[in-house]
Structure 1
Amino acid sequence: MKFVLYRDKRGEYRWRLVASNGKIIATSSEGYKDKRDCQAMIDAIRKNGSATMVVDEVAAK
């Protein structure tokens, strides 16, 4: 997998998480005016991603 940092139509920075098969599996929910802010979010996801909780809403019903 890889993160792809790009500019959207409004000129803001965004990221995509792309699987090894080329499919986009996650995208930023907002644009960032400063490239450093976008990169900081990528870094935070990479650092804290393994500690992310999974909530199974299907099993809870």
Structure 2
Amino acid sequence: MAYKFEVYTDKAGEFRFRFRASNGEEMFGSQGYKQKASAMSAIESIKAHAPGATIEDQTK
């Protein structure tokens, strides 16, 4: 299995997505979106911008 985004509807009727690792483990989940298009847009934004994301260590 490859890494993947899963789009689903929560109990409140909002659209959410989760990102799963190749072993099936959920790595992170999204906030709720009123429109499916907004959730899909967030996924596309992550896919486009994540390779350049930096790490900010706030534990110092």
TM-score > 0.5, shorter chain as reference: yes
Count of residue pairs the alignment pairs up: 58
State the structure with more CA Rg. Answer: 1
In structure 1, the gaps of 5 or more residues are none
Name segments (4+ residues, structure 1) moved above 6 Å.
none
Separation (CA, whole Å) in 1 of partners of 2:56 and 2:39: 26
Partner amino acid for 2:50?
G
| Superposition deviation, residue 55 in structure 1 | 1.6
| Superposition deviation, residue 57 in structure 1 | 3.2
Q: Is 1:52 aligned with 2:53? A: yes
| Superposition deviation, residue 53 in structure 1 | 0.8
Separation (CA, whole Å) in 1 of partners of 2:58 and 2:32: 28
Q: TM-score, normalised by structure 1?
A: 0.88
In structure 2, the gaps of 5 or more residues are none
Q: TM-score, normalised by structure 2?
A: 0.89
Q: Work out the percentage of aligned pairs sharing the same amino acid.
A: 38
Q: Pick the aligned partner of 1:14 from 9, 13, 16.
A: 16
Alignment RMSD (CA, Å): 0.9
